[in-house]
Structure 1
Amino acid sequence: MDGNGKKILFVDDDSLSMDSIRLALSENGIAVEFAKDGIEALEKVTHEFFPVVVTDLNMPRLNGLDLVYQLNSLKDKPVIIVSSVLSEVNSVITLLKAGVYDYIQKPYHLDELRHRIEKALEAAEYRAVKSRGEKEKQKQIQEQLNWNLWKEKIIKGSSDDSDNLLIKSIRTSLSQGAGFGALVSLINRIEKKVKKKGEDYIIDSALMEALFENGKAAKRVINLFEEMENIGSNELTEEILSLSDLYQTLEEILESQKELIGLQNHSVVLGQNQILENNVFINGKLEYLRKAFEELILNALKFSIPNSKIYITLSRSPQSMKIDFYNPPDKDQYGNYGIPDFYENLIFEPFFRISKLVYEKYPTLDFGLGLTYVDKVIRKHNGQVKSYSVKNHLDDLGASNFVHFEVDLPTVVLR
């Protein structure tokens, strides 16, 4: 939601303070629509969606308590802030238990009001992104069925030319950037330019530095394969991790990646940790999950439109913990945004790369192996990682879809 798209509904019968509130919030790019009571507020929300509603409790006709229950029954629920005087604190506690996002005491302090509304607008963005993701799940289930059929055709030797995409991608990955093709080219150049002096060779220092750098890249790939081999042969579910451990890990990754996040003026919005179940855990190994999460975040940074927001949300289903990563993709070399439907499963295959571009400033895993590593780690934790597109209704930066990576990790309840 960009600065020009923030619009909230303020419900209060105190007309004297409304002008100052409108002026104060407009400085933050927030447009304000006012309603004098709950009846007028309901009339407005039936004709226009407001991501945030701020409502007083004590009003004529339909009071704030009843308005909150009516708003919470809507299909597209707004994020609700209640305003109250100190004597109404018991009602506020009841409403918070019923799903009200926040409350603020009257009389209003404008700085605090601005701050709480900005936080509520962020929460509305999380909710909108999460809702879009849920609506795309059925599509993803069908895509997964199609993918399984495609893999079965390959095993039986009856696949079409689709598998050539993977073969071509392997060749591309090994021939570009600091790949093996570049290594061969360097050796050819050295052979042409090297001079022999006695038993020694005199070689241009720039060529040697390039050779050393390419050798380091090749070593990283070998080390990565060794690590993935160890993941496959070792047990990764011997530790007990709380849901707060995972949230804290995401916070630490974002803190450590501030410089990379700022390369293209991105921002990463991490949803609030509202999962408070102390007896729910994940069996896993945090160092591997951390690396997998880091790879997903760096992948989002590489391919997102400059100056855009990347969203991370957390939620609980009855038997799993779900972590969703959303990013608005930039245009690739073919003029496409995001991951084409056919590639949504291929991207987890070793060496598969959609883009031919090299992003040297982002330290993601080399040769299209980053998402392979993520898939390996999550599956070793008995979970799943999926990728699909979600319609983008939050900004006008040019991407019609978000790229959505959905991570599901099974949970256990310890009594």
Structure 2
Amino acid sequence: MIPHSLLFESENTKQVTELLEEINYTFERVNQFEEIAKTLEDGKFHFLIFHVADITNDDDQKKLTELTKHFPQTLILIITDKTKWDITASLLKQHMVYDFIQTPIETNHFQFTLDRSLQYLLTKLKSQFINEAENHLYKRMVEIFDWKKSLSHKENENIASDIIHQMNINLFQGSGIGTLMSVVSILISKGKLDEEGKNYFIPKAIMDLLSENYDAAKSMFDSMSISQSVIDDETIVENKEPPQKLLSIINREMEILNEALEIKSQKFNLSQIPTSAVDKKIRFDETKLSYVIREILLNAIKYSKEKDIIYLIFFHKENFLELKVINPAYQNNDGTNGIPEKFESFVFEPFFRISSVVDDSYAKFEQFRFGLGLPLVKKILDQHQSNVQIYNIENNFRNESTKDICLTIRFPLFEEEK
């Protein structure tokens, strides 16, 4: 994963801007300290980077404390020099900042510090999630082995049932293998042997059902083959093409998914590539990016409702082309909405599901299944050295006071070769 940074820009951070561009890491910048909190609220950043010389008075340090408190999922990194060791040491001691980088900055050390900090952040989030999951498991175990409750409520659940439930979701729920097995069972029981004992007569309705579910099962196995090819491929994409080719893929996939849109009378609304990015290039593998676009569009369709509009908006920010796929956020089974903040990192892990509901209506369009869709999207984008995040945002362009789900992909931009 490529970290996404917010840079507090000043005369002291010019080298940082150059380094971030050199290593193709995505970033945004603000010029006023007062802009930091609003920018952190509007987007998702792994790091806030500033120079220690720009945070010298007590008032700014108090504001820094507030930022640490309100944005615990953003690590603060400082650039420092030998003349500012007292302030640097104080900020580190008070845990207002996570790490420091001393000037003059060496490129490899700078990248190493960001990568190491990112691993710490992801581990921290994972630890919090595991702790919460363990607490939930402990509570369930107490309930399961509470014999009084078991007697009064006929409780017969056990932990193994959860495992079976997940296997059922991933392999057998809906059309495909499970239904195919059922149809074959019907076929065997309903088939009638002719008088000579040589041929069976099969009702047309059963044969049609068999054919339909054979196609669904075949599609499932095709999906497994595609998934395996992506999992086994570790090649970094070196080919570079103009971003207009990405637009062509999106238009093609939108056309393929027209039938899926009609199920709930939904629409796509696609912006154009910003003119400032037209003369640049992105890493580009057409087949792999087609998989990515299909998966993220299909996810947006599945988790949106009747007559919703799904927005695809391009931005040119700093050294990258940004594609945002935005659809309305709705309530989950557990009462949360959209993508709960604690799950933002885990939706890209294999078999992780916020909802256990499987909608068969879209099965024939799926190229990834079994809870592998977003993990394989991330794998492909890693091969393009691109950043992907998904999170809730405030609804700023619909006429309602609601939240939206925003999936953001950031492609590093390269200059057109002369």
* TM-score bucket of the superposed structures, by smaller chain: 0.5 to 0.7
Q: Quote the residue 1:411 is aligned against.
A: 413
Q: Quote the residue 2:361 is aligned against.
A: 360
Report if the CA contact (8 A) 1:321-1:409 is conserved: yes
Partners of 2:39 and 2:408 lie apart in 1 by 13
Partners of 2:253 and 2:259 lie apart in 1 by 12
Deviation at 1:355, TM superposition (A): 4.2
Q: TM-score, normalised by structure 2?
A: 0.56
AA aligned to 1:306 is E
Deviation at 1:326, TM superposition (A): 0.9
Q: Quote the residue 1:229 is aligned against.
A: 228
Report if the CA contact (8 A) 1:241-1:286 is conserved: no
Q: Quote the residue 1:182 is aligned against.
A: 179
AA aligned to 2:286 is L
Task: State the percentage of identical aligned residues.
Answer: 23
Report if the CA contact (8 A) 1:174-1:180 is conserved: yes
Q: Quote the residue 2:218 is aligned against.
A: 219
The alignment status of 1:149 with 2:127, answered yes or no, reads yes
Report if the CA contact (8 A) 2:315-2:321 is conserved: yes
The alignment status of 1:313 with 2:313, answered yes or no, reads yes
Deviation at 1:327, TM superposition (A): 0.4
Partners of 2:306 and 2:328 lie apart in 1 by 9
Q: Quote the residue 1:240 is aligned against.
A: 240
Report if the CA contact (8 A) 1:132-1:391 is conserved: no
Instruction: Describe how 1:207-356 pairs up with structure 2 within 5 A.
Output: 207-234=206-233, 235=235, 237-277=237-277, 280-331=280-331, 337-353=337-353, 354-356=355-357
Change (3 A) 1:135 1:371: closer
Partners of 1:182 and 1:149 lie apart in 2 by 39
Change (3 A) 1:229 1:384: farther
Change (3 A) 1:333 1:359: farther
The alignment status of 1:375 with 2:283, answered yes or no, reads no
Bigger shift: residues 313-322 or 239-248: 313-322
What is the root-mean-square deviation in Å for CA atoms of aligned residues?
4.0
Change (3 A) 1:412 1:232: farther
Change (3 A) 1:232 1:355: closer
Change (3 A) 1:225 1:357: closer
AA aligned to 1:174 is L
The alignment status of 1:135 with 2:136, answered yes or no, reads no
Partners of 2:248 and 2:312 lie apart in 1 by 13
Bigger shift: residues 332-341 or 204-213: 332-341
Deviation at 1:255, TM superposition (A): 4.6
Q: Quote the residue 1:14 is aligned against.
A: none
Deviation at 1:325, TM superposition (A): 0.9
Task: Return 5+ residue gaps in structure 2 as ranges.
Answer: 1-31, 47-70, 75-120, 139-158
Deviation at 1:248, TM superposition (A): 3.5
Q: TM-score, normalised by structure 1?
A: 0.56
Partners of 1:190 and 1:336 lie apart in 2 by 44
Partners of 1:148 and 1:374 lie apart in 2 by 20
Change (3 A) 1:386 1:246: same
Q: Quote the residue 1:34 is aligned against.
A: none
Deviation at 1:218, TM superposition (A): 2.3
Deviation at 1:224, TM superposition (A): 2.0
Change (3 A) 1:408 1:167: farther
Higher RCO by CA contacts (8 Å cutoff, separation 6 or greater)? 2
Deviation at 1:257, TM superposition (A): 3.9
The alignment status of 1:206 with 2:205, answered yes or no, reads yes
Partners of 2:198 and 2:352 lie apart in 1 by 44
The alignment status of 1:172 with 2:169, answered yes or no, reads yes
Deviation at 1:311, TM superposition (A): 1.7
AA aligned to 2:276 is L
Change (3 A) 1:131 1:268: farther
Report how many residues are paired. 286
Cα deviation digits, residues 191-247 of structure 1 (max 9, x gap): 433334424433333233323322222222222222232234443614222122223
AA aligned to 1:412 is F
Q: Quote the residue 1:392 is aligned against.
A: 395
Report if the CA contact (8 A) 1:332-1:355 is conserved: no
Partners of 1:313 and 1:265 lie apart in 2 by 21
